[in-house]
Chain A
Amino acid sequence: MMEFLRANQPVFDFFLLTLGFAYSQQVVLRAGVFSLASAAFSCLGAYGCAYLVVKAGLPVAAGIGLGALIGGLASYLVSLPLARLRGVYQAIATLALVELMVALALYAEPITGGAVGFNNIPKHVGTTELLIAVLVVIYLLHAQSISRIGRGFDALRQDEYVAASLGVSSRREHTLAFISSGLIGGLFGALQSMYAYNVEPNQYGFGYMVTTLAAIVLGGRRSLLGPILGSAIMILLPEVARPLAEYRQIVVGVILMIVVVLTPQGLADTFLAWLQHRRARDLAPMATQPPGGRA
C-alpha cells in the first residue's frame, strides 16, 4: 500500500489539489448557487501567493494564508452583484469572470509572467501539507453542514420559497457560500503555486471547471464524500486507462457518461440515499401508505 502510494505520489498529490478545488465548487452548489467562479478564486490565490512569496519575500505560510484571504475577499466582492442572480444567469456571469481572470493573468505580464507563466517558484508544499489542508477543509465543511448555516444552505438549494418562509435570508447565506468557496479556492490555488514550481493562466480556465464539476457530478453534490469519490475517479481513470493509448479519452468519456446516466445524483449521494432509505424502511415499513389506510 505504502509502496503503491510512494510510486504514485504525484498522482495522489494531484488528487488532493483537485479535491480542494472540488470542495470550493461544491460548497456554492450546496447552497443553490450556480457559481463556476472557483477557478477565478484559485487563480487569484495562486498568483497572489506566488507573488507575495517570491517577489515580496513573505514567509510561505503567510503567503498561503494571504492567498486564501485574497480568494475570500474576491469572492465577497463578486457575491455583491452575482448573488442576486439565479441558475443559468449566475453560471454565465461567473463563467465570464473566469475568462476575465485568465485574460488578466495573460496581460498582467510584470506580475504574472503572462503566457509563459510565473516560473522558478521554490517548492515548499508536499503531500503532507496538502493532506493537512484537505483534512482541515473537510472538518470545517462538516461543521458548517451540521450547523444552522448548513441547514440554511440545504433549504435554499431545495426550495428558495420554503427557505424564505422560514426566515432563511438568501442574501446572507449565499454570501457565506461565496466566501467559503473563495477561501477554499484561494487556499488550494496558493498551495498549488507552492507545490508545482510554476503557475500558468490556463491552469485556471476551462479544464479546471470541467474537472471540478465532473468530480462533483460523479461523486455527488450534497455529501462531503462526493468530491472525494469524484476527484479520485477523475484523476485515477485516465491513469488506469493509460495502456489504452489513443483510445484512452474515448473510453474515459464513455465510462463517465455511463456513471452519470446510471447515478444522476452522483455515486456517493446515491449510496448514502440508499443507506437512508434502508434505515427508514426498517423503522417505518408503512411509510408510503396514506394515513388511516384510506385514500
Chain B
Amino acid sequence: MTVLELREVKRHFGGVKAVDGVSLKVASGQVTGLIGPNGSGKSTLVNLIAGVLAVGEGDITLDGKSLIKLTADEVARCGVARTFQNIRLLPEASVLDNVVIGFYRHERSPLYASLLGLPSSRRETRELREQGRALLARFGLAEYEQVPAGGLAYGYQRRVEMARAVASAPQVLLLDEPVAGMNDVEARSLGQIFAQLAREGMAVLVIEHNTRFVAELCSQVHVLDGGRLIAHGSPQEVMRDPAVVAAYLGG
C-alpha cells in the first residue's frame, strides 16, 4: 500500500536542477531503493521529503496529506523518520539518551506535569528508558547504553542512529546511505534489520550508492540521474537497463 507519494517534485538551486520532476511511490511493508551516481539528487530528495528543504514545484503526500508546507519537525511528527548521510548523534548524551529522544513525538505528559515533575511525567521517563533499553538490545547495543555516543566506533554510531529513528515508530523511514563505509558483513546484518522493520509494516526508503546492497534488499528500485528518474522496477530489471548502465559507467 502506498504511504508516501511524490508527484512531479522539483527543486532548483539557481540554474542547477537538483531534482527535476521526480514522481515515485513508497509502499508500506517493503524496502524501496533509490540509487544514483554522485550528484544525482538523492540527498536533495531526502531533504525535500523530510522538510529540511522547501519543495519548488510538485507535491509530496503522506497517506494523502500534503507535507510540502510543513517544517522539518512537523514532518517528523507526522511519522517520517530519517537518518543522515553523515552520522548525526547527540555526541555528549549517552547511547541510551540518544535513543530515548527518538520517542519524543510519542510522549504524552502534559506541559504542567513536566514542569512540576509530577509522578506521571517521571513514570513516562522511566518507561521510555525501559523501551529504549529493549531497542538497544535489538540493535546489539545493550552493553553500551552508558557510553557517550560521540565516543563509539563508527559502525556502532550508525546503529545508534538507526535505533533512534526506529524509536520514533515512523510510518516512513528514510535511510540516507545507511551502510556507507561499512564492510559486507556489517551491511548485511543491518539489511536484515531493515527487512524486518518492513515486514512489521514500515515503509522503508533506502538511498544508496552500494548497488549490490540495494539489489539484495529491495523489492523496488528507482534510479536517479541528473535530478530525474531514469528507471524503476525490480533490482534485476533496473540493473539491466541500458540507461542505468550508462549513467553508472559515465556513458
Residues of A within 8 A of B (CB): 139-140, 142-144, 146-149, 151-152, 154-155, 158-159, 161-170, 222, 273, 276-277, 279-280, 283-284, 286-292, 294-295
Within 8 A of A (CB), among B144-166: 144-148, 151-156, 159, 164
Q: Which of B5-13, B30-38, B75-83, B194-202 contacts A (4 or more CB under 8 A)?
A: B75-83
- Asked if B215 is at the interface of the complex by the 8 Å CB criterion, the answer is no
**Residue contact A294 to B185, C-beta cutoff 8 Å:** yes
B39 located at the interface, meaning its Cβ lies under 8 Å from any Cβ of chain A in the complex:
no
Of B60-68, B87-95, B206-214, B223-231, the stretch lying at the interface with chain A is: B87-95
Q: Which residues of A contact B183 (CB under 8 A)?
A: 294-295
B101→A292 contact, CB < 8 A:
no
CB of B30, distance to nearest CB on chain A (Å): 23
1/0 contact trace for B47-59 toward A, CB 8 Å? 0001110000000
Query: Is the beta-carbon distance between B76 and A159 smaller than 8 angstroms?
Result: no
B115 lies within 8 A of A140 (CB) = yes
Contacts of A161 in B (CB 8 A): 52, 72, 84, 88
Given contacts A154-B90, A276-B146, A287-B151, contact A146 B156 (CB under 8 A): no
Are the C-beta atoms of B121 and A143 separated by less than 8 Å?
yes
Q: Is the CB of B154 within 8 A of A290?
A: yes
A163 to B98, CA, bound (A): 11
Point out the residues of chain B lying under 8 angstroms from A146, CB to CB.
117, 122, 125
- With A158-B93, A284-B144, A294-B185 as contacts: A163 and B115 at CB distance below 8 Å: no
When chains A and B are docked, how far (Å) is the Cα of A149 from the Cα of B124?
Answer: 13
Q: Given that A151-B101, A154-B90, A158-B92 are contacting pairs, would A284 and B76 also be in contact in the complex, using a CB cutoff of 8 Å?
A: no
A-B contact count (CB 8 A): 147
Residues on A with beta carbons closer than 8 Å to the beta carbon of B140: 291
**What CA separation (Å) do A158 and B97 show in the bound complex?**
12
B107 at the interface (CB under 8 A from A): yes
**CB–CB B114/A155 < 8 A:** no
Taken together as a complex, chains A and B put the C-alpha atoms of A56 and B76 apart, in Å, by: 50
Q: Is the CB of B156 within 8 A of A167?
A: no
Residues of B within 8 A of A151 (CB): 97, 100-101, 104
Contact of B147 among A148, A159, A222, A284 (CB under 8 A): A284
Contact A165 B153 (CB under 8 A): no
> Given contacts A280-B144, A284-B144, A287-B151, is CB(A166)–CB(B164) below 8 Å?
yes
Determine the chain B residues whose CB is within 8 A of the CB of A288 once the complex forms: 151-153
B153's closest neighbor in chain A, by CB?
Answer: A290
In the complex, 16 of the A-B residue pairs with CB atoms within 8 angstroms, ordered by the A residue number, are A140-B116, A143-B116, A146-B122, A146-B125, A147-B121, A148-B114, A148-B124, A154-B97, A161-B72, A165-B73, A166-B102, A167-B105, A276-B94, A277-B148, A284-B146, A287-B144
